[in-house]
Amino acid sequence: MKKLSARRRHPLAALVVLLLALACTGGLYAAFAPASKAQADETAQSLAIDEGKKLYAVGCASCHGTGGQGTTDGPSLVGVGAAAVDFQVGTGRMPAQQPGAQVPRKKVIYSQAEIDQLAAYIASLGAGPAVPTKEQYGPQGADIANGGALFRNNCAQCHNFTGKGGALTHGKYAPGLEGVDPKHIYEAMQTGPQNMPSFPDQTLSEQNKKDIIAYLNAVNGEDTESPGGLSLGGLGPVSEGLFAWLFGLGGLIVVAVWVAARTAKAKKS
Amino acid sequence: MSSHQIPEENLPAEQEAPHGAVRVADEENPFADPGLPPHEPRVQDIDERAAKRSERTVALLFTVSMLATVGFIASFVTIPHDKSIFVFPLGHLNAMNFALGLTLGVALFTIGAGAVHWARTLMSDEEIADERHPIEASPEVRAKVHADFKQGAKESVIGRRKLIRNTMLGALTLVPLSGVVLLRDLGPLPGTKLRHTMWSKGKLLVNMNTNQPIRPSDVVVGSLSFAMPEGMSEHDENFQSEIAKAALMIVRLQPGDIKDKRELEWSHEGIVAYSKICTHVGCPISLYEQQTHHALCPCHQSTFDLSDGARVIFGPAGHALPQLRIGVNDEGYLEALGDFDEPVGPAFWERG
Amino acid sequence: MSTAPSTEARSRGKSPAGERVADWADGRLGIYSLAKANMRKIFPDHWSFMLGEVCMYSFIIIILTGVYLTLFFHPSMNEVTYHGSYVPMQGQLMSEAYASTLDISFDIRGGLLIRQIHHWAALIFLAGMFVHMMRVFFTGAFRKPREVNWLFGFLLFVLGMFTGFTGYSLPDDLLSGTGVRFTQGAILSVPIVGTYISMFLFGGEFPGHDFVARFYSIHILLLPGIMLGLMVAHLILVFYHKHTQFAGPGKTNKNVVGMPLMPVYMAKAGGFFFLVFGVIAAIAGIVTINPIWGIGPYRPDQVGTGAQPDWYMGFAEGLVRAMPGWEVNFWGHTLVLGVFIPLVVFGLFLAVIALYPFIESWVTGDKREHHILDRPRNAPTRTAVGVAWITGYLITLIGGGNDIVATHFHLSINAVTWFVRIGFFLGPVLAFVVTKRICLGLQRRDKEKVLHGREAGIIKRLPHGEFIEVHEPLSQEQLHTLTAHEQYRPVEIGPTVDENGVERKPAVTEKLRAKMSNAYFGEDSQIPKPTVEEYKEITSGHGHH
């Protein structure tokens, strides 16, 4: 359990985040750079859709059907929107590797540019939520405390008080939220991936989502302080009880053995 | 529980020899107790230099304790109470808590370590045998106590004056009742409080995130939202007790997916409203899996199938989640068509 | 008055100040006769005898830190808006209890440390009591004359659980509030009086405005008061009975061998207090416990997953989680078996271990005092019962954290629950059988060692080529230690015809006792310890080694 919490404090964690951030920025740049060239806008868009269609045919069609209509192996993608694609592919969940209770988060195998192309193609199949912009999930103007209240009302029941994750039925689980890109958190709330229910803007407004993301960053972010010391994975009484037994009572028993042990006798000679 | 029915010879075997007697081992009995082994000296007992080393160790430990206490006070005075530091394997933590904990820990631990080291190396370690005496009194004492008691009881005449005895017992039995009566005002009688909630006909469903009434179009398939009755506010005197009964969980299913007939009737275009309070022991249950339509309770894992009248499909809950009958008012907002028709939350004796 | 001159002489002399103070106190309190009996009291040395001290010291630590916490904690459920220094809570509505706990954690210097010491010490206190109780159980230290003290200890454990629970609920945070809600739901399940008890305890409907204040007086006054009294009684009895000891050379049922209280145990036990306090303080400085700021204020319509109680309530939680949802409706009433049965089993499960000493003493019919401890292997049935009990306890404990187990070992929560459901019945039986086998095996090995000596690890080649391992005979001390235990013979049903030739029908209890006695001490339940004759026959003449 120590490991778990230590992992995000790992010296390499910062590096990983940095690389991720670089990759994201690069990807965003790649996505937006052509768009800024005004004239080529529409052409670029249709180009992206074409590219996305090719990628789709290779990587996705076997489960989701050639036109995104869905098969027995995968749901229909018509109308899921670009946000869903960006979330699923951007967190490595798609393409799925093997059937199981739940598709886990994995290494991302597509570049952000490719993901955007895929997203553009899927979005062209039917209207759905678009990929949020940085203004939507960024920290500016967010109310952390209100985000906490919203998080406890809408999210904590599955993801734990501070987003450490938890169990669902039959091997499914709500994943931990540490180290998840704010964009992906936003998209998850918007689209409701897998068994997670969606929280559309009508019932959880854009501002609400922003607040929640800011709260998560405050209590479960990279530099979140754990004032009392080692957080034991933030799992609550189970890990605390284990620690009390192993290191608390265990340590005291070691001390007791020393207190009660016989002092070494002088060698008989 | 006594053994008087069982003849003596069937009782467990006693040790052949009187229990616990110290005997010298001999040819007759190689298992006999050889007695306490002779005391062997420690290094410190025979080597003054070793003893000196021990003394210095103990003194050093006590000195470390003093220094740690000074460190504790210094930390308390100098460290800003909201300062955060990064300590390698532990992460970001409060500097003052860390400093105070460690200095206090060291200050206390070294006192203990010093005392124990002192006892272990410098105090006599010769083992001493102390005699035990039976806990029960000798027959004479026993007889004396019994006689004294009888004498006392006789002098009190309690055996003869039955009227005194009986009225005294009566008085002593009754007097604690006043204490019990005094506890009456700890709380009200249950009445029908557990049967009613704030919901009633025409009350709008108010989204708890946005504090706005909900339109059917706001609730999409696969989404999850929570509602409270209109007119309720977090600042209300009884908000906590009321929301503990009124909390509502709203999901939308494809009408074709709804297996329970009544559920379909009480829904609006596939929008169903269920009590958020688990029927097991009352945890808020809202771990909704949108693909399976299962709702799981995080406390004891009761699982309810929201597409089938919220019946229990796993876990310790004894009955389905109560459903609130909903409709749409003239302005197009979701409203309740009445209170829950059964008590929400945990079951109880009078529930029926 | 006849002693006056001597007293005068004693205090007027040039005796040191300390002695004069002691004389003064003795004249009023009679401390000398107390000291005479106790100052050089002998305590045997063994690490497991210090487990009780771990408990006592952590209890003292809890009281000390608890008093500090009462200075800052506001046991009130009045609603306030938070304006303290913890940013993610600013502006939130919460009870005064929760707000003052945040203040203790963030705005009072050292408050967080004391809070964490208090909570860590509580977890260690309960864990210590559990292990201490098991030590007493497995060594048979509960036998006459210590049965009453066993019950005192048991009561301390149970009261400790409830004191812990009420204290844990005080901050009125979302996690502990969920635990209180569970308690209220469980109370509601009690037939006939459940709703009344609930209304009276909470001053109306849950959560109401009263429970923090009520739990507060229970937590800081009622329960600790009783516990303090019990603990003092427990200690007095330990002094009065004198400590038990393991068998060994010079150690008999009529003596106690060890070091005197003054000075060795003054230093060791006194020092141990500081060691325990030091370890707990250091833990509280390094490791966080119950970070209520991350959990949020209690709202009965909110919850977080991973909702568990502190470990000592975990087995009750496990019983509730594993129970199927049985509910019976009849004549307008509901019997909530799904909650009520675990509630009853919770009590029965604890009662089993509390009453065990009386069951065992009834089976053995033994009325003697026992001051020499059993090695667990030498009481196979008792040891097996104990291990079976612990197994049941552990399995339900796992059930209490089934969601954490599921996520961390990538299992289905339903599978874990089914494991607990089956394991609760099967596990103890298996544990019983296996433990008994192991005990008998160890007894056989002891017997082997006594009769044939210790394996020396030296291989010898005999003139005709055979290899043998040399066995060294045991020393007198070892021989004694390994054969010092008593072995009971199974009780039989007495003659069915009495001395007058009248037929007597053995009572049911008598038959039951004979049966149980046979299960305890029959041929399959213990290995007869080596006799002197066996030993002599093997060691004499053959000259094998």
CB-based contact A225 B207, cutoff 8 Å? no
Residues B257-283: pLDDT tens digits? Answer: 999 999 999 999 999 999 999 999 999
The answer to whether residue C195 neighbours chain B at the CB level (below 8 Å) is yes
Distance, first Cα to last Cα, chain B: 43
Q: Which of C48, C116, C289 to mutate to test the interface with A (most CBs of A within 10 A)?
A: C289
Residues of B in contact with A199 (CB under 8 A): 223-225
CB-based contact B243 C480, cutoff 8 Å? no
The answer to whether residue A105 neighbours chain B at the CB level (below 8 Å) is no
Same domain as A141, residue A192: yes
Classify residue C339: in a domain, yes or no: no
User: What's the pLDDT score for residue A37?
Assistant: 46
Same domain as C20, residue C84: no
User: What's the pLDDT score for residue B9?
Assistant: 46
Same domain as A137, residue A123: no
Its domain, for residue A53, covers: 37-131
Question: A158 a known binding residue?
Answer: yes
Same domain as A169, residue A101: no
The answer to whether residue B89 neighbours chain A at the CB level (below 8 Å) is yes
Same domain as A101, residue A60: yes
The pTM of this model reads: 0.91
Same domain as A97, residue A148: no
Same domain as C62, residue C15: no
Classify residue C317: in a domain, yes or no: no
Residues B157-198: pLDDT tens digits? Answer: 988 999 999 999 999 999 999 999 999 999 999 999 999 999
Q: Which of A96, A131, A166 is the last residue of a domain?
A: A131
The answer to whether residue B90 neighbours chain A at the CB level (below 8 Å) is yes
- pLDDT (average), residues C306-335: 92
Same domain as A145, residue A160: yes
User: What's the pLDDT score for residue C506?
Assistant: 80
The answer to whether residue B123 neighbours chain A at the CB level (below 8 Å) is no
User: How does the average pLDDT of chain C come out, rounded?
Assistant: 91
CA-based nearest distance A192→chain B, Å: 7
User: What is the full per-residue pLDDT of chain A (269 aa) written as tens digits?
Assistant: 444 444 555 555 655 555 666 665 555 555 444 444 445 566 777 888 888 888 888 888 888 888 888 888 888 888 888 899 999 999 989 888 877 788 888 898 899 989 998 888 888 888 888 899 988 898 888 999 999 999 999 999 999 988 899 999 999 999 999 889 999 999 999 999 989 999 999 899 999 999 999 999 988 887 788 889 888 888 889 999 999 999 999 999 999 999 998 888 876 54
Classify residue C192: in a domain, yes or no: yes
User: What's the pLDDT score for residue A4?
Assistant: 46
- Whether the ω angle into residue C263 lies within 30 degrees of 0, i.e. cis, is yes
Same domain as C200, residue C90: yes
The architecture (CATH level 2) of B194-232+243-336 comes to 3-layer Sandwich (2.102)
Residues C345-368: pLDDT tens digits? Answer: 999 999 999 999 999 999 988 889
Its domain, for residue C262, covers: 52-246+258-297
User: What's the pLDDT score for residue B229?
Assistant: 95
User: What's the pLDDT score for residue B271?
Assistant: 95
CA-based nearest distance A218→chain C, Å: 7
For chain B, the chains sharing at least 3 beta-carbon pairs closer than 8 angstroms are: A, C
Mark C38-59 as b/e (b = at least 16 C-beta within 10 Å). Answer: eeebbbbbbbbbbbbbbbbbbb
Residues B13-67: pLDDT tens digits? Answer: 444 443 334 444 456 788 888 888 888 899 988 999 999 999 999 999 999 999 9
Classify residue C388: in a domain, yes or no: no
Contact in structure between C321 and C399 (CB atoms under 8 Å): yes
| B118 band by pLDDT with thresholds 50, 70 and 90 | very high
Same domain as C216, residue C146: yes
Contact in structure between B253 and B269 (CB atoms under 8 Å): no
Number of domains present in the structure of chain C = 2
Classify residue C162: in a domain, yes or no: yes
Question: A159 a known binding residue?
Answer: yes
Q: Which of C53, C65, C94, C205 to mutate to test the interface with B (most CBs of B within 10 A)?
A: C205
Same domain as A103, residue A77: yes
Residues of A in contact with C299 (CB under 8 A): 152-153
Classify residue A116: in a domain, yes or no: yes
Tell me the CATH number at A90. Answer: 1.10.760.10
CA-based nearest distance B106→chain A, Å: 14
Same domain as C110, residue C229: yes
Contact in structure between C201 and C211 (CB atoms under 8 Å): yes
Classify residue C272: in a domain, yes or no: yes
The answer to whether residue C242 neighbours chain B at the CB level (below 8 Å) is yes
Question: Which DSSP state fits A103?
Answer: P
Classify residue A76: in a domain, yes or no: yes
Residues of B in contact with A150 (CB under 8 A): 209
Cα–Cα distance for residue pair C427/C433, rounded to 1 Å:
10
The answer to whether residue A87 neighbours chain B at the CB level (below 8 Å) is no
User: What's the pLDDT score for residue C502?
Assistant: 80
SS3 label, residue B329: coil
CB-based contact B218 A196, cutoff 8 Å? no
* C92, C271, C406 ranked by CB distance to A167: nearest: C406
Strand partners, C173: C297
| C2 band by pLDDT with thresholds 50, 70 and 90 | very low
- Asked if the model's pLDDT at residue C124 lies above 90, the reply is yes
Same domain as A150, residue A119: no
Contact in structure between C255 and C43 (CB atoms under 8 Å): no
CB-based contact A219 C294, cutoff 8 Å? yes
Classify residue A109: in a domain, yes or no: yes
User: How does the average pLDDT of chain B come out, rounded?
Assistant: 90
- pLDDT (average), residues B142-146: 96
- Asked if the model's pLDDT at residue B72 lies above 90, the reply is yes
The answer to whether residue A2 neighbours chain B at the CB level (below 8 Å) is yes
Residues of C in contact with B190 (CB under 8 A): 195-196, 198-199
Same domain as A127, residue A41: yes
* A195, A225, A265 ranked by CB distance to B42: nearest: A265
Residues C460-509: pLDDT tens digits? Answer: 888 888 888 888 888 888 899 999 898 888 887 777 777 777 877 788 88
Same domain as C192, residue C128: yes
CA-based nearest distance A103→chain C, Å: 13
Pairing of strands C328-330, C333-335: antiparallel
User: Edge-to-edge, what's the strand order for the sheet holding B311-314?
Assistant: B287-289, B294-296, B303-305, B311-314
Residues C16-60: pLDDT tens digits? Answer: 899 999 999 999 999 999 899 889 999 999 999 999 999 999 999
The answer to whether residue C45 neighbours chain A at the CB level (below 8 Å) is yes
Question: Which DSSP state fits A265?
Answer: B
Classify residue A32: in a domain, yes or no: no
CB-based contact C296 A149, cutoff 8 Å? yes
Same domain as C61, residue C32: no
Please give the interface size between A and B, counted as residue pairs whose CB atoms are below 8 Å apart.
130
Classify residue A27: in a domain, yes or no: no
The tokens for C446 are: 């002891």
Same domain as C137, residue C21: no
User: Edge-to-edge, what's the strand order for the sheet holding B323-324?
Assistant: B205-207, B224-229, B248-252, B271-275, B323-324
Residues of B in contact with A265 (CB under 8 A): 40-42
Put simply, the chain C residues between 349 and 408 with a CB less than 8 A from any chain A CB are 401-404, 406-407
Classify residue C178: in a domain, yes or no: yes
User: What's the pLDDT score for residue C42?
Assistant: 92
Question: Which DSSP state fits B217?
Answer: G
Same domain as C240, residue C102: yes
* B84, B91, B286 ranked by CB distance to A157: nearest: B286
The tokens for C295 are: 């959990």
Q: If you measure CA to CA, which chain A residue comes closest to B119?
A: A259
Put simply, the chain A residues between 126 and 155 with a CB less than 8 A from any chain B CB are 150, 153-154
Residues C405-430: pLDDT tens digits? Answer: 999 899 999 999 999 999 999 999 99
CB-based contact C303 B135, cutoff 8 Å? no
Distance, first Cα to last Cα, chain A: 51
Provide ipTM, 2 decimals: 0.91
Pick from A226, C130, A153: nearest CA to B276: A153
CA-based nearest distance B167→chain C, Å: 31
Q: If you measure CA to CA, which chain C residue comes closest to B349?
A: C334
Question: A60 a known binding residue?
Answer: yes
Contact in structure between B283 and B241 (CB atoms under 8 Å): no
Alpha carbons within 13 angstroms on the beta-carbon side of residue C191 total 14
Same domain as C170, residue C29: no
Q: What is the DSSP string of C516-542?
A: HHHHHHSTTT-PPPPPHHHHHHHHSS-
Same domain as A213, residue A140: yes
Same domain as C17, residue C163: no
Same domain as C120, residue C166: yes
Same domain as A127, residue A147: no
Classify residue A26: in a domain, yes or no: no
Question: A170 a known binding residue?
Answer: no
Residues of B in contact with A231 (CB under 8 A): 91
Question: A24 a known binding residue?
Answer: no
Classify residue C43: in a domain, yes or no: no
- Asked if the model's pLDDT at residue C337 lies above 90, the reply is yes
Q: Which of C234, C266, C297 is the last residue of a domain?
A: C297
Number of domains present in the structure of chain A = 2
Question: A184 a known binding residue?
Answer: no
The answer to whether residue C90 neighbours chain A at the CB level (below 8 Å) is yes
